[in-house]
C-alpha cells in the first residue's frame, strides 16, 4: 500500500490516477484498514463484489489498468513496488505514455 501511495502522490491528477477497491466482506474492517494504513489515494469498498465481477478480478491483490474510456488494458496479480523505476516504466507502456520519474 505504501508504494501505491507514493505512486499516487507522484502521478494522481497528472498522468494517471490510482484508486483502491476493497472486496472485503466486512465493510468496517476494510474501512479500518484504510484509515490505519493512512492511504492517501481514493478508496472504495465493494463488499458486494460488483466491480470485482465487472473487471474480472479473480485474485487478491490484483491491480487493473483501466484507460479513460473504461477499457481494461492489463491485469497484474501480486504485490509490487509500484513506484520503482521498472514498474513505473511498465505502467507507462500499458497506457502508451511516458511517465516522468
d(CA 33, CA 100): 30
User: What is the pLDDT at residue 19?
Assistant: 94
CA contacts within 13 A on the Cβ side of 79? 3
Mean pLDDT of 81-85: 95
Tens-place pLDDT, residues 27-81: 899 889 888 988 889 999 888 888 888 888 888 899 999 999 999 999 999 999 9
- Residue 19's nearest CA partner among 66, 53, 76 is 66
Cα angle 54, 60, 66; round to 5: 45
Cell of 34: 484504510
Mean pLDDT of 91-97: 95
Domains along the chain with CATH numbers: 2-94 (3.40.30.10)
pTM here is: 0.84
User: What is the pLDDT at residue 3?
Assistant: 93
User: What is the pLDDT at residue 24?
Assistant: 83
d(CA 38, CA 54): 27
pLDDT value at 101 more than 80: no
> DSSP string spanning 5-51?
HHHHHHHBTTTB---EEE--S-HHHHHHHHHHTT--S-EEE-TT-HH
Amino acid at each position: 500500500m505504501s508504494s501505491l501511495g507514493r505512486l499516487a502522490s507522484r502521478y494522481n491528477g497528472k498522468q494517471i490516477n490510482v484508486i483502491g477497491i476493497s472486496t472485503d466482506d466486512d465493510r468496517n474492517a476494510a474501512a479500518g484498514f484504510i484509515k490505519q494504513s493512512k492511504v492517501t489515494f481514493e478508496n472504495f469498498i465493494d463488499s458486494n463484489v460488483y466491480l470485482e465481477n465487472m473487471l474480472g478480478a479473480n485474485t487478491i491483490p490484483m491491480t487493473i489498468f483501466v484507460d479513460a474510456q473504461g477499457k481494461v488494458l492489463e491485469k497484474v496479480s501480486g504485490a509490487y513496488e509500484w513506484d520503482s523505476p521498472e514498474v513505473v516504466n511498465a505502467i507507462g507502456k500499458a497506457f502508451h505514455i511516458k511517465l516522468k520519474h
